[in-house]
Every structure is written in structure tokens, then in C-alpha cells.
A = this chain, B = another copy of it.
Amino acid sequence: MREVAVVGVGMTQFGMSEKTQVEMFSEAAMDAITESNIEPRDIQALFLGNGLGDFEEGQMNMAPMCAAEIGIPNIPATRFEGACASATVAMRNAYLWVASGFYDIVLTGGTEKAMAMGTPMATRTFAMGSDSRYEGFAGITFPGAFGMAAHLYSKKYGIPLQKLKEQMAMVAVKNHKNGVLNPKAQFRKEITVEKVLSGIVIADPLQLLDCCPFSDGAAALVFASVDKAKELTKKPIYIAGVGQGSAGPLYTQKDFTRIRARETAVKQSYMQAGVGPKDIDICELHDCFTIAEILATEGLGFFDFGKGSQAVEEGKTSLNGEIPINPSGGLKAKGHPIGATGAAQAYEIVKQLREECGERQVKGAKIGMIDTLGGDLATVCNMILRR
């Protein structure tokens, strides 16, 4: 297997868009292609993440349409769906097709129009990422599952619920603060712990500002073999490791303060990259709810289990902390266009490792990580990137 590098990235503004999913992806892709110093015709295959194009726009089989839109209609174009992890799963496969020597240059990323359909319909349809047989109909959709996880966390680690709610609020405050510095973020407004704690309850103890929004958006990356990458750019960002894990329905999971799929996935990423959590300088992870960020920082090994909420309070995950988490603003502030999210996480890490992030730049970051969760804790896919 040969080394693979990211040679170009692109991303739309996140938020509400007038464009179709195909058009948004095309916009992000053309930016990534331009940055890569290639022409569309140099791309040999497309690997696309998309969650619910059928419900959103009456469109299945979206990948060939995206390829056609950027002028390369004949290349193999494949759609991946792993709920919110769709793009990361697509990127992991794109990585392999290049690493194996089959292709030299591929396009990957994701697109989604989740905001334009309106929150009630988006909530209802994206709940299909939960298990429809055993969970969704009983209200164990995503806010429900993470609300339960927060209660379990409080009880298991002896952290009073009110204390935990404040620490969770600090996740939201931090990510909004980062979002202010990101011109592509959906929310660019600081919030306070008090504001989070006075919000309406969504799924106890989660309140409105503990939850990420639905968003429209797309992000794209060009991957190239190491030799091609060195020809194309002075700043190749290498893919050092990839991992993917799954888990069965929630009722089969003993303790979902520990997300089994993540622990399976991250072992693979660390082993392949030959690094451990202490080596990671910066991370974009799946803060669909504030508690989800806390659980992820523990699952990835940055903090001991039960210490993640305290770490937030101590500022360890802030932009200038020991391991900056979600410098982009995360799903919480940057936005969460489901099928594009993993690609947008990778966009941020690539930009950070290239030192192109302006005010939100984490100085000297050399190794970065992305981690994306899909469904009812059912899919986690992650990727380690390095300069």
C-alpha cells in the first residue's frame, strides 16, 4: 500500500442554501480541484457521502449526477450512506482505491440539503438513522439516545446533573466561540453558559443549545498518490490512518457512555498511523450534542473515561488548550449537513495542518484527526492526517 495525500479541499458556506445538493457539491469540488492544480479530467473516480437525497430532493443515485455536473460524467461515481458518517466512510474508501494503486487521483466528499426541508421534517426523516425496529418508534432517536447517555454519564461518574449540564454548556460556548472565527460557519455568534441553561428542553437533560442544527452544505477533497501529490502541491497533507467500526442496536450495548463503534475504529486508525492520542495536536469530532463531544474526547483517548467534562471546564479543549477540539466550530456552530459533515471536518484539519486558518489557527499543529459518528451509535469512522 502506498501513501495517499490530500492535495486540495473545498467547502461551501454552511447554513441555508438555494442550491441543489448536486450544485453545492460541484461548487465545493471545483474549489478543491482548482486548489489541487489539476483539471476535472484528471480525476479517475468519485466517492460521495449523502444521507437522504431521496427525501430531501427526490434524488437517489446522486454520485453520477455530481460527476456530470463538474464535467466528468463517465468516471465511476459511488454514493456511500452511513447516516451522519456518510462522507467519512466515502473518504475511507477513496483512500483505499488510491493506496492500493488502482487510482492516482480521486475526488471525495459529501453533500446534504437538511436545513431547507425544515426542522420538523428533517428531525422526522433523519431519525431513520436510528433502528426502526427497536428504537426510533419508542422515541430513542438521536436526542433521546444522547439524553440517556448524559444521564448515564452523570450517574456513572458521580457528577451531579446540574454540574454536568454546565460543563456540557461549556462545550457549546467553546464551539460557538470558534465558529465566530470561521467565515463558513452557520452560526457566528458567541453564547453564554446561562443562555444554554435557559434554553428549552429537547431531551432531558439536553437543551436547545446542546444540539447541533440541521444545515445545507457540501465539502470536497482531492486525494492523490504520494508521487502525484508531490508534483501537485507544496503542502500535501498525508492520510496516516483510517478506521471504521460498527455497533448493534442500543439495547445490545451495555454502556453507551462508551461508544463501542468508536473504540473499534480508533484502534485501527492509531495502529495504522503508528501514533497514539498524545500525538494528536488537533481534532474535529462529532459534537452532534454537547455530551457527544465529551464522550468522543474520551473514546479517542484524549482524556480518561469520566474526565472529559472536567477537561472542557479546565479549557483543555479550547483553541489554545492542550488538545483543541473542533476549532472550526464543530457541528454545533459550523453546522451539520449530514452527508457532508465528515468531509467538512477533513477540510478543517487540512487547512489547520497547512496553517491557513487565520484567527482560529492552532499554531504548529502537525497531526490532526477527524472522527464522525453515524446513526444510533452504530457507525464511527475516523481518519488521522499529518503534514
Binding stretch for chain B, among A52-60, A213-221, A303-311: A52-60
Cβ–Cβ < 8 Å partners of A379 in chain B:
61, 63-64, 77
Max count, chain B CB within 10 A of own CB: residue among A1, A244, A252: A244
Question: Does A131 lie within 8 Å of B249, measured CB to CB?
Answer: no
Distance of A97 Cα from B68 Cα, bound (Å): 27
8 A Cβ contacts from A61-99 to B: 61, 63-65, 67-68, 73-83, 89, 93, 96-97, 99
Instruction: Map CB proximity to B onto A106-145 as digits: 1 under 8 Å, 0 otherwise.
Output: 0000000000000000000110110111001000000000
Max count, chain B CB within 10 A of own CB: residue among A20, A54, A64, A67: A64
Are A82 and B96 also in contact (CB < 8 A) when A68-B248, A76-B246 are? no
Query: A374 interface residue, CB < 8 Å from B?
Result: yes
Indicate which residue in B64, B89, B252 contacts A246 across the interface (CB closer than 8 Å): B64
Question: Does A61 lie within 8 Å of B74, measured CB to CB?
Answer: no
8 A Cβ contacts from A249-269 to B: 249, 252, 260-261, 264-265
Cβ–Cβ < 8 Å partners of A97 in chain B:
96
Cβ–Cβ < 8 Å partners of A374 in chain B:
61
Are A68 and B246 also in contact (CB < 8 A) when A61-B82, A260-B74 are? yes
Cβ–Cβ < 8 Å partners of A67 in chain B:
246, 248
Interface residues on A, range: 35 or more
Query: A233 interface residue, CB < 8 Å from B?
Result: no
Specify how many copies of this chain sit in the oligomer: 2
Indicate which residue in B77, B100, B248 contacts A96 across the interface (CB closer than 8 Å): B100
Indicate which residue in B74, B81, B100 contacts A60 across the interface (CB closer than 8 Å): B81
Question: Does B82 lie within 8 Å of A78, measured CB to CB?
Answer: yes
Cβ–Cβ < 8 Å partners of A264 in chain B:
74
Distance of A51 Cα from B60 Cα, bound (Å): 8
Of the A-B pairs whose beta carbons lie under 8 Å apart in the complex, a sample of 26, sorted by A's number, is: A1-B100, A1-B102, A51-B60, A54-B125, A60-B128, A61-B129, A61-B378, A61-B379, A63-B379, A64-B246, A64-B379, A65-B131, A65-B378, A67-B248, A68-B247, A68-B248, A68-B252, A74-B247, A75-B246, A77-B246, A77-B379, A78-B82, A79-B80, A79-B81, A96-B96, A96-B102
Other than A52-B54, A65-B131, A76-B381, give 15 A-B pairs with Cβ distance below 8 A.
A20-B133, A54-B128, A60-B83, A60-B126, A64-B247, A64-B379, A68-B249, A73-B246, A74-B261, A75-B246, A76-B244, A78-B93, A79-B81, A96-B96, A96-B102
**Those 10 A-B pairs whose CB atoms lie nearest each other, nearest first:** A68-B248, A73-B248, A100-B100, A64-B246, A76-B244, A61-B375, A61-B83, A64-B378, A59-B132, A58-B132
